[in-house]
Amino acid sequence: MFWDELWKLVSGSTLYRLDALIGGKLVPLLYGLGMAAIGLWAVDHLFASFAFNFGQGLWGVLEVLIYGALWFVALRIVCEAILVFFRSHDDSVAAVNRSRGRNTLAEDIGDAIRDLADTDNSGTSTGDEDAFTGSPDGNLDIDPPIRGTVPRRTAKRTPPKT
C-alpha cells in the first residue's frame, strides 16, 4: 500500500500542486531511509573496527549497539514530531473549514431556495399551507389554506387554479 501511494504521488499532479501538503505522506519514506542509513552505518562501522584488530572490533560492536539504539530513538522522535506538526495543521484547517460552514455556491443556492419556499408573500413562514396531497388521477393538489393565509404561487410548486 505504501508503494502505491508513493507511485500516485510521483506520477500524479499532487507533486506539482501547492494546495495539498505531502509532508505527512513522506514521513514513512524518511523513516525507512533513516533506518536503512543507520543499518548501513552499523555494518560499515563493524567492518571498519574489526579491520584494525579483534579488541577494536569488540568496542565497535558495543558502539553499534549503543549509538545505533540512540540514533533509532532520535529518528523516531524526529519523525513523530514531523507527523504531529502536519496533523495539527490538518486539524486546524479542518476547524477553520467547519467554522466557515458550507461554502459551495450550489449549497448556498439550495439553502436560499428552501428559505424562499418556506415563506409566504409577507415573509413569514406558514408551514402548513404548502402541504401537498396526491389525488386519485396522479396530480398533486394543494390543501386549502389555514386561517386565511394565501399560499404563494411559484412555477414549480403551485399551479394556477382554473
Model confidence at 88: pLDDT above 70: yes
pLDDT at 143: 55
- Confidence grade of residue 14 (pLDDT, cut at 50, 70, 90): low
Cell 505531502 locates to 22
Choose among 5, 58, 12: nearest CA to 28: 5
Average pLDDT over residues 29-57: 92
How far is the C-alpha of 90 from the C-alpha of 21, rounded, in Å? Answer: 9
Per-residue burial over 40-79, b if 16 or more Cβ lie within 10 Å, else e, is eebeebeeebeeeeeeebeebeeebeeeeeebeeebeeeb
Is residue 23 within 8 A of residue 86, CB to CB? The reply is yes
Q: What is the SS3 assignment for 104?
A: coil
Model confidence at 52: pLDDT above 90: no
Model confidence at 116: pLDDT above 80: yes
| Higher pLDDT, residue 117 or 12 | 117
pLDDT at 61: 92
Q: Locate 75 and state its grid cell.
A: 529518528
Average pLDDT over residues 105-122: 74
How far is the C-alpha of 34 from the C-alpha of 63, rounded, in Å? Answer: 18
Identity of the residue numbered 8: K
